[in-house]
């Protein structure tokens, strides 16, 4: 019982770290994408633990779907990044402020 709870805590901790990774990162957009991936990972991790804990297959199906979505997402994200780099030849987050309110 205790072991499962600790696993959940680990995944939540991982999630928070990735949130902070996005949040505190001012420079590199690659790190942002990586944190995003880590977020997906922690969530699917959490789902898998939940499915084991509840003895239900749905969580694992969901985690498999999330893996697919994450792969597609990261490929599209990297593609956008490449296009962006081709135009601006810089990928620093701080310099992306053309869309001011």
In the complex, least distance from residue 94 CB atom to other proteins, rounded to whole angstroms:
7
Query: Is 4 in contact with 49 (CB distance < 8 Å)?
Result: yes
Q: Which of residues 41-100 bind other proteins (CB under 8 A)?
A: 93-94, 96-100
70's tokens: 């994450």
CA-to-CA distance for 17 and 2, rounded, in angstroms? 22
| Chosen residue from 12, 19, 30, 34 binding other proteins by CB under 8 A | 19
Interface contacts to other proteins, rule CB under 8 A: 19, 22-23, 25-26, 29, 32, 93-94, 96-101
């Amino acid at each position: 019982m205790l072991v499962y709870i600790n696993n959940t805590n680990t995944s939540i901790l991982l999630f928070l770290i990735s949130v902070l990774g996005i949040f505190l990162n001012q420079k590199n957009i690659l790190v942002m994408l990586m944190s995003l991936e880590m977020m997906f990972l922690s969530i699917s991790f959490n789902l898998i633990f939940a499915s084991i804990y509840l003895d239900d297959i749905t969580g694992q199906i969901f985690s498999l779907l999330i893996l697919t979505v994450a792969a597609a997402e990261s490929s599209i994200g990297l593609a956008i990044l490449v296009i962006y780099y081709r135009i601006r030849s810089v990928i620093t987050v701080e310099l992306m402020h053309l869309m001011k309110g």
